[in-house]
Chain A
Amino acid sequence: MSVWVLHPSHFTTVVLFALFASTVFGITQRETPRNMIRYGIYCFVLFVAAAIALSWLMYFIAR
């Protein structure tokens, strides 16, 4: 089972999380394929941007 153990970085985890969640959000929250893709990309960008912004915020709070 040790072959299947993964230790991705925090950022990789954020990107993977954003990718999977925005895929499901895009498909389920919009009706036409075009709007699904647009909403999926919108959610992905928001997920990643929010994670980066909050990370910098916490970096400065910790100092």
Chain B
Amino acid sequence: MRYSQKCMATEENKTAAGVGSQPASQEGFVYLPLIAGWLVPGGGHFLLRKWGRGALLAAAILGMFVLGLAMQGKVYASAHDILDILGLVGDLGNGLPYVISRMLGLGDVQVQVTTADYGTRFIVVAGLLNVIAAVDAHNLRTGRKS
């Protein structure tokens, strides 16, 4: 019995079929969009050249974060009980905006008015939405989503 390599996945056939060739945005460290998306809202999508989606995500997440600060929301700095821990984890999802707000001393330490309570939730939810956006960028990078 004779075997032919004509249609088999030899290196020549792989190259001709385009297998293994990836666009420029698909090369490099696979977790880079995830980390960039976490640090800078929309950054993961910008890295993958999804400009429109990145701009909308950045506007939504940063808008929510800034409005939370403007409503005198609390920025969690330490955790003393389980609710504080959850709030801190949510805040950390904002990445660099959280670090900058801590450095500049933005946000209130204690919630004193009703709108400050809304603001605190805005900041936490902005962080959680940013994590969703960063995971979406990772899914785009790995090809799980188009």
Contact = CB atoms under 8 A, between A and B. Distances in A.
Contacts, number: 59
Main secondary structure of the interface of A (DSSP, over half): helix
Contacts of B136: 27-28
Interface in A14-48: 16-17, 19-21, 23-25, 27-28, 31
Chain A: interface size category: 10 to 19
Contact of B71 (A6, A21, A23): A6
A23 B145 CA distance: 18
Contact of A20 (B63, B118, B135): B63
Interface of A: 4-8, 10, 13, 16-17, 19-21, 23-25, 27-28, 31
